[in-house]
Structure 1
Amino acid sequence: MSNVFHEAGFWYTVSFVLFFVIFGPKIWKPVVQVLDARANRIRVELDEAARLRREAEQMLEDATREREQAHAEANALMEQTRKQAEELAVRARTEAEDMLQRREQMARDRISAAERAAIDEVRAAAVDVAFESARLVMGEGVDAGTAASMVDKAIADLPTALSARAA
């Protein structure tokens, strides 16, 4: 037995046990308090992380819902715009056709007026030429009695000529 008391390992073990028996409760309490405080801090951080995760998930759900609503609104707006564009195109096409018909009618009216004016000018020119020719012929070879009879005959034929011209 004397051998056991002379070995360093024995005394090292005895001193280690005595150290913990004497100072253990004094050291153990602060170490346990530090470890408990750290465990509490970690628990609070985990709770905060869980709360933040729930908030983030809620925000993600809200953002997804808002994105879907915005997408639906955008689709509805695009559909409404497309319909309005189609209506405008139909209205513009109708207005263009109406304007084309009005211009075509105006052109026809102008052509008719120009034709009437040309016919009137030709008639007036023909009348002028006829009067000038008649004046020249009458002045050269018709005596006063013949001229008077021709004028009387023309006055008598005037109603027939006017009714033929009106038709």
Structure 2
Amino acid sequence: MSDAPTALTPTQLGAYFALTEVSALLRPAVEKQLRDVGRLSYVQFQLLARLGDTADGRQRMTDLADGVVYSRSGLTYQAQLLEQRGLVTRSPSPDDERSTVVAITDAGREVLADVFPGHIGTVQGLLFAPISDDDANDLARVLGRISEHLRANPPRSASRRSAKGASA
């Protein structure tokens, strides 16, 4: 006999529906802003933003894929599109020839600078305007805890790989 729950509580069901509804309503607005201003997909923006947030503007492809929770092959394709636009460069890792390092270019930083004001405005206006800073702190704390739980047994696209066995 299994101890698995057979139903969600009304509170759990309400929270689940609210989460999926917010995600479904927010994502298209964010994606439209990124497309309109930077000609970027959501994944391309995440890739550029993560690179732009590193000290040297570089990261291994496998680490990027793990961070954005996207398939390695899909992210490779997105990085290729960004490279064709001159927004990133890709090169073999100096530490492991099986790995690929992606680096943001000056043109990539310019695109980020162009999209960030509208991106921040969209997220602020749609997600954070109706809640207090305390609510946002609670939201970050709760979602962070859920993210940690999900990453404990993630799908392959979200699993962190060791540097020893990683490749891109």
TM-score band, normalised by shorter chain:
under 0.3
TM-score, normalised by the number of residues in structure 2: 0.22
Q: Which has the higher helix share?
A: 1
Does 1 or 2 have the higher relative contact order (CA < 8 Å, sep 6+)? Answer: 2
The structure having more radius of gyration, on CA atoms, is: 1
